[in-house]
Amino acid sequence: MSKEKYYVYILCNKNGNVLYTGMTDNICRRLLEHKLKVNLGFTSKYNVDKLVYFEEFDNYEESVNREKQIKAGSRKKKLELVKRFNPSWHDLYSELCS
């Protein structure tokens, strides 16, 4: 039996000036939804679909708490997090979901 995985992620738009933090149990499906603008909302309105950061969790509660922690942080903290994890700010989608 496989264990469920949970992901906290940060997306940006192509210019990197709009950030979005989310959480999901199926990151490839969710990222594709962002890219295809399936759900009308913040990410579709601001063309936010470039995966620049993610963390994987085995525990739902841990992932929810981490998402809240990141969302509560300043923009500066989010930018620093992305820069440490992905200094070139390239889209991680194809590496994660190919």
Q: 16-59 pLDDT, tens per residue? A: 999 999 999 999 999 999 999 998 899 999 999 999 999 999 99
> Token digits for 34?
């962002």
CB atoms near residue 79 (< 10 Å): 17
Packing angle of the helix pair 60-72, 75-85 (nearest 10 deg): 120
pTM of the predicted protein model = 0.94
Domains, in order of start, for the chain:
6-97 (3.40.1440)
Q: Report the pLDDT averaged over residues 4-19.
A: 96
> Token digits for 50?
């470039």
Mean predicted lDDT score pLDDT of the chain: 95
pLDDT at 32: 96
| 52 sits in which H/E element | strand 50-57
> Token digits for 27?
């990151």
**Helix, strand or coil, per DSSP, at residue 94:** helix
